[in-house]
């Protein structure tokens, strides 16, 4: 393949991506990579200051909307607003989520429900809102941010584990329903990635950091850009025959010992 045509298979220059939780961390890294690949991105989150700062960094191909994905009945209005202001959404990235670290027996039903509402019901509301248009146009990609908790047991995060494991089933279920209509559905399962949040957590718990690195064959944390470029691949024409996949980007943690 020639140099002039090879990059085109990874190009997102015709794509409009809605990224939830896109103002910081992994969501911002995915937005940055998608913009670099040519996409227009719309970041969604609850904190306007973070969203505005992110858009300023990303440039003219980025915009944002303040939105709480747990307000399930407003998903369709959000999608309509993006479609009218930017264009039809061709890529939905369900990345927003919350974390809860507590022993299982201390996790209340209300806390459990909120985690599920954010990761699962909020994501499903957006899928319901964007998928019909994607299927009508015979073109679209839906991407979820899964987790190592989707793949093996991690203590003290039972609600998060339940949500991320349910997400894997959703990816496969959506993929079987949507893929014949030109809409692919996949997920990335990040390993331990060096973000501001992870640095704060691990700097205060050196034993945990040693444990994480000890079970990661590459013996280091990943960079946010590692997730960003994986998202570009799964959204791009290069992955045209890839659907229903949970892609670990984890330095080998999910297969190491």
* Sign of the CA dihedral running 26, 31, 32, 38: positive
Q: Which of 64, 160, 174, 233 is catalytic?
A: 160
Cα 189-194-9 angle, rounded to 5 deg:
55
Distance CA 57, CA 68 (A): 22
Which residues, including other chains, have CB under 8 Å from residue 132's CB and lie 6 or more apart? Answer: none
Asked whether the beta carbons of 230 and 249 are under 8 A apart, the reply is yes
For the record, the structure tokens of 105 come out as 């027996």
* Other CB atoms within 10 Å distance of the CB of residue 31: 29
Q: Is 160 a catalytic residue?
A: yes
* Residues tagged active-site: 160
């Amino acid at each position: 393949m020639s140099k002039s045509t090879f990059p085109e298979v990874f190009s997102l220059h015709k794509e409009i991506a809605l990224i939830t939780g896109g103002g910081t961390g992994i969501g911002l890294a995915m937005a940055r990579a998608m913009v670099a690949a040519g996409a227009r991105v719309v970041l969604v989150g609850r904190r306007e200051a973070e969203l505005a700062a992110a858009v300023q960094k990303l440039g003219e191909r980025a915009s944002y909307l303040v939105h709480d994905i747990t307000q399930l009945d407003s998903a369709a209005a959000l999608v309509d607003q993006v479609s009218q202001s930017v264009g039809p959404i061709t890529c939905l990235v369900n990345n927003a989520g919350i974390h809860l670290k507590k022993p299982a027996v201390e996790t209340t039903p209300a806390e459990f429900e909120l985690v599920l509402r954010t990761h699962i019901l909020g994501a499903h509301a957006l899928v319901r809102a964007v998928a019909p248009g994607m299927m009508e146009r015979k073109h679209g990609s839906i991407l979820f941010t899964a987790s190592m908790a989707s793949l093996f047991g991690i203590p003290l995060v039972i609600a998060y584990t339940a949500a991320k494991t349910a997400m894997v089933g959703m990816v496969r279920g959506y993929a079987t329903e949507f893929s014949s209509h030109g809409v692919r559905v996949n997920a990335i399962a990040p390993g331990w990635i060096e973000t501001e949040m992870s640095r704060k957590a691990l700097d205060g718990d050196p034993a945990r950091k040693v444990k994480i690195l000890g079970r990661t064959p590459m013996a280091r944390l990943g960079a946010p850009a590692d997730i960003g470029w994986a998202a570009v691949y799964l959204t791009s024409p290069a992955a045209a025959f890839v659907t229903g996949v949970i892609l670990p980007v984890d330095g080998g943690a999910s297969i190491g010992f």
